Amino acid sequence: MTAPARPPGQAESGSGWYVYGVVPATETPEGLFDGVDGVGGGTVRLITAGQLAAIATDVPLAEFGEAAIAENLRDPAWLERGVRAHEAVLQAALAALPVVPFRFGTIYRGEDHVREMLSEQERLTDALDRVRGRVELGVKGFLSPVALESEPSGEEDAMSAGRRYLVEKQRDRQLADEREALKARWAEESHRRLAAVAEGATANPVQSREISGRDEEMFLNGAYLVATEREPQFRAVLAELGRELGASGALYELTGPWPPYNFVEDPA
Amino acid sequence: MNGASPAAQQEVTLLELVDRVLNKGVVLTGDVTLSVADVDLVYVGLRVLLASVGTLEQLESSPQ
C-alpha cells in the first residue's frame, strides 16, 4: 500500500483510520466511547473483523499523513494533545475489557485495510489472551540525594590545602562508586521482589535527572503486568520496599494502571 | 526538585506518557507509520523543552 508520490510540501487530501489498539469484538459494551474525544477531536468507533475489533478514528491525512505527522510531532502542543487523546481512548477501553495498545500514529487508508490487518495478525489474539485480567503498573525508584553523604572526618583541618584537595577528590570518587553500587543493588532487589508478584516484568533504562525532572537519581524504571486480584499484594510489596530501603534513602513512585504498553510486543 | 512547579510536573507526566505511547505498544506497518527517526526527534524536542523548564525554575528560585 504505497502512497502515491507527491511533491514535497503538498499536504495529502482525504482521510484515514487512526488505530489506537485492539479489543475482543464480542465483549465491547454499548456506548463505551461516549463522551471520549479521539485524536484530532474525531469520534471513536470500532472496526470489526472476526473476533477482533480495532478502536479507530477517522482522521484527515492533511494532519495525519506521513509528512504531516512527522512535521506535527515537532510541535509540543500538538504532540501533547495527540498522546493524551490516544491514552484517554485506551483508558476508556481498559476500564471495561482487555486491550492491546498500538503505538501512536498507526494509520490505515481505508476500513478494508484495517480489517485486513485484523485478520492477518494472529499475534494480536495471543496478546489479548496474555493481558486479559491484568494491568500494567509503573514503578520508579529514586535515590535520595542525602543518602551516602559523607561526614568530614575532622582530620582535614590539619592538612595542607593541596593534601586536603587530594583527600576530598579521592573521597568524592569513592562515594560515586558506592552510589553506583547501591543503585545497582537496590534496582536488582526491588525488581526481583516486585516481579515475584507480577505476571510480567520489564526493567526499562533509567531516565537522567534532566528527563525525570527530579533531583534524585533514578535507579529503577520498571513496568509490571499485574493480575487484577494480585494488585493489593503488589502494592504491599512496594510499601514494604519503601519501608525497608526507604530508611536508607530510597523513594518509590507508582503510576498506572496503564494499558499494557510494555507487554504486547512479541514475548521472548 | 521536591517543590517542582505544577508546570514542570505536567511536563514530566507528558514525558511518562510519551515514553509509553510513542515507544511501546504494538508496532505495525500501517499505511502511515512513524519512523524511528521521527520518534527520536520528539525526544530531542522534549529534552530541549524540559531543559528550558528546569533552567527557568532555577532562575526563578535562585535568591537575588
Looking at the fold, whether A49 and A96 belong to one and the same domain comes out as: yes
The stretch A58-65 carries a mean pLDDT of 93
Tell me if A151 is assigned to some domain.
yes
B51 neighbourhood in chain A, CB within 8 Å: 210
Say if CB A260 and CB A22 are below 8 A apart: no
Same domain, yes or no, for A30 and A115?
A: yes
Q: Percentage of residues in chain A with pLDDT exceeding 90? A: 65
Task: Please check whether residues A167 and A241 belong to one and the same domain.
Answer: yes
* Nearest partner of A237 among A209, A195, A201, A267, judged by Cα: A195
pLDDT band for A129, please (50, 70, 90 cuts): very high
Last residue of a domain, one of A131, A163, A189: A131
pLDDT exceeds cutoff 80 at A262: yes
Considering the domain architecture, whether residues A122 and A138 belong to the same structural domain is answered as no
Domain of residue A252, CATH code? 3.30.70
Sheet holding A134-143, edge to edge: A200-203, A217-227, A134-143, A250-258
Q: How many CB pairs under 8 A join A and B?
A: 132
B32, A16: Cβ pair inside 8 Å? Answer: yes
* Set of chain A residues whose Cβ sits within 8 Å of the Cβ of B35: 70
Residue A232 has pLDDT above 80, yes or no: yes
| Chain B interface disruption, residue of A136, A261, A265, most B CBs within 10 A | A261
Kind plus residue range of the DSSP H or E element containing A137: strand A134-143
Split into its structural domains, chain A has a count of 2
Residue A9 inside a domain? The answer is no
CB contact under 8 A, A261 and B50: no
Predicted model pTM: 0.82
- Let me know whether A123 and A174 are in one domain: no
* Location of C-alpha cell 500500500: A1
Q: What is the mean pLDDT of residues A216-237?
A: 96
pLDDT in tens, A183-203: 999 999 999 999 999 999 999
Mutation pick from B32, B42, B58, B61 vs chain A, by most beta carbons of A within 10 Å, is B32
Residue A63 lies in a domain: yes
* pLDDT at residue B1 is higher than 50: no
Residues A172, A121 within the same domain: no
Tell me the percentage of chain A whose pLDDT exceeds 70: 90
Looking at the fold, whether A144 and A46 belong to one and the same domain comes out as no
Where in the sequence is the domain holding A24, given as residue range(s)? 15-131
- In this complex, the residue of B2, B32, B41 whose CB is nearest that of residue A65 is B32
Identify whether A5 is part of a domain: no
Whether residues A96 and A160 share a domain: the answer is: no
Domain end residue (candidates: A108, A131, A154): A131
Residue A114 lies in a domain: yes
A173 or A151, which is more confident? A173
Distance CA A43, CA A67 (A): 23
Measured between beta carbons, which residues in chain B are less than 8 angstroms from residue A76? 45-46, 49
A127 with A138, same domain: the answer is no
pLDDT in tens, A136-159: 999 999 998 766 665 666 666 677
Indicate the pLDDT class of residue A93, thresholds 50, 70 and 90.
very high
Among candidates A144, A29, A42, A25, which has minimal Cα distance to A85?
A42
Model ipTM value: 0.77
Same domain membership, residue A141 and residue A71:
no
Is the model more confident about B27 or about A225?
A: A225
Q: How far is A203 from chain B (nearest CA, A)?
A: 13
Residue from A59, A83, A224 to probe the interface with B (highest B Cβ count within 10 Å): A83
Is A268 domain-assigned? no
| Distances from the Cα of A96 to the Cα of A27, A90, A93, A128, A201, angstroms | 9, 10, 6, 14, 23
- Beta carbons of A107 and B46 less than 8 Å apart: no
Q: Identify whether residues A97 and A181 lie together within a single domain.
A: no
Q: Is residue A225 part of a domain?
A: yes
A179 shares its domain with A223:
yes
Given A81, A102, A131, the domain boundary residue is A131
State the average pLDDT over residues A227-250.
95
What is the residue whose three cell numbers read 499536504? A11
pLDDT in tens, B10-57: 555 777 888 889 888 888 878 877 776 677 767 666 665 555 554 444
